Amino acid sequence: MSLPQTPSFSLKGKRALVAGASSGIGLACAAALGQAGAEVTLTARSTDKLTEAVDLMTKAGLTATSFAMDVADIARTQAQVAENGPYDVLVNSAGLAKHSPATDTTEADFDAVANLNIKGAYFLTQAVAKGLIAAKKPGSLINISSQMAHVGGIDRAVYCATKHAVDGFTKSMAIEWGPLGIRVNTICPTFIRTPLTEQTFAIPERVKWLEEKIKLGRVGEVTDIMGPVVYLASDASALMTGTHLLIDGGWTAD
């Protein structure tokens, strides 16, 4: 008899593309993948913070590069992925929220959120998959979704709709590309403390709502996402595809 060996969490030899990597969850994911051994390419619309992030990662002994990319610009994004790929791992953390009561939603706000959260995410995932298929390589494609892909939320009708859609196309892509060894999953966090969410934490009634919903009694930190993203990117999750990891402190357990 011999003991089974734990599959490797190492990403050495892997190339990873992280969209929305200039801050918050995206930056944490880039750091996590780099710390696991991946060669990481960080992208976002603005290059200023990307340069700082790459410098920090390089000084920490990690391998990182960057370029500017707007996921909502489909044609340009496809060209950039084709030019710089193939990538073994994708983490798409680019996203947008414009919260308001459903009766106040404007067509412009709806289009802005949907164009990035659904359309941009769809075609970025497609672009990375095309590169893997052409190179006849397996891969792990991860979209940062939300717990709001599984529940509703106050003033979040549009955001919830887009995240439900992301989980939907993830399942279909996973079915299509599974025979090729390409896995597609989502990570669905609860409210994570980042510069973009501080406006929510500044509203007392919203904080009360969060405290009532999150069973562990605290909001998330970006470090809460780092272990799960390495897990999904690595061979440790080799049989996982077409599903989601809920990192929600028990929000959806009800």
Q: What is the CATH number of the domain that holds 35?
A: 3.40.50.720
Domain of 135, in residue numbers: 15-192+225-246
Catalytic member of 87, 122, 159, 231: 159
Q: Would 100 be classed as within a structural domain?
A: yes
How many domains is the chain built from?
Answer: 1
Cβ atoms of 185 and 245 within 8 Å: the answer is yes
Closest to 10 in 3D by CA, of 206, 241, 234, 248 = 234
Q: Would 43 be classed as within a structural domain?
A: yes
User: CA 4, 234, 247 angle in degrees (round to 5)?
Assistant: 105
**Residue 139: per-residue pLDDT:** 98
Q: Would 53 be classed as within a structural domain?
A: yes
Where residue 154 falls among pLDDT bands split at 50, 70, 90?
confident
Q: Would 8 be classed as within a structural domain?
A: no
Where residue 170 falls among pLDDT bands split at 50, 70, 90?
very high
Q: Would 216 be classed as within a structural domain?
A: no
Q: Would 98 be classed as within a structural domain?
A: yes
Task: Choose between 86 and 200: higher pLDDT.
Answer: 86
pTM score of the predicted model: 0.94
Q: Would 186 be classed as within a structural domain?
A: yes
Q: HSE of 41 in the Cβ direction (CA atoms, 13 Å)?
A: 20
pLDDT tens column, 66-116: 999 999 999 999 999 999 999 999 999 998 888 889 999 999 999 999 999
pLDDT tens column, 20-70: 999 999 999 999 999 999 999 999 998 889 999 999 999 999 999 999 999
Q: Would 254 be classed as within a structural domain?
A: no
The answer, yes or no, to whether residue 246 has pLDDT greater than 90, is yes
Task: Assess whether 159 carries a catalytic annotation.
Answer: yes
Residue 246 φ/ψ, nearest 5 degrees: -90, 115
